[in-house]
Structure 1
């Protein structure tokens, strides 16, 4: 909220953003492991078995999808990306790339960013690479929409409070 205030100056905003970046870099290096340790301690205190899911192979995630469903998902993605009868991906190529990717002996991936990096290194999974880039931008889009709805509530409250009864 501080960065969104009307009287925020650019130099102060830059300082605040740099602090935020330092915080996240520090959290990435040490914060997550500290949070896991604390969560395990709390679980033990509550007499709960502190078992956390381990990293999964991307192949295991993909293996549960049947071919017809995969093809359907590819078609839905192409339709969502269509603009003036043109799409950013080709359905048949994406389907083939995903089937081929399934057969590769891949390393363990802990998140979609690792998959995207791997796909870019191979340089021949163009459609799958586009799909993963879109996957990685979805949370930003959702957060933006939630912020707009939050602002809409403020406007609605203001309008209701300014109405007078006669």
Structure 2
């Protein structure tokens, strides 16, 4: 039996695709593959929002940008009826500005800023221990990763990462409103 060069090369390429142990590597095709835990238990599976744009924002109650809780609420009130999903992801990764835990975070944002949108459990958003969604987003858009609290990721209706927006981006400013409006019209 003679081996053709193409067969040998094909076998080598296929073996490189397998991790140690021979298991098939899984790919993450979209944001819909992820879920965030809820502070009181349960999860927010992003797959449940397929067909709708999703805005994911890492937050902190003691941050100088905390006023964005209120402008995020304005955005939520304006677009939730048209299909937008908004999930706040509290994090203590930047300046230790989220001292609260669990449901107390959402309650503080509601009492102080009127926030009524969904709140995930406190989550790491940077570094090797970051939530898998944030590691995936960083691999998709390495120049648009969170550098501080209130970084925003917009997920498209098909689960694709449409963009990352810095803490300085006003939630009801033209840049983000335009991107959300375009995604809502695409449906």
Q: Which is richer in strand?
A: 2
> Larger relative contact order (C-alpha < 8 A, sep ≥ 6)?
2
Structure showing greater Rg:
1
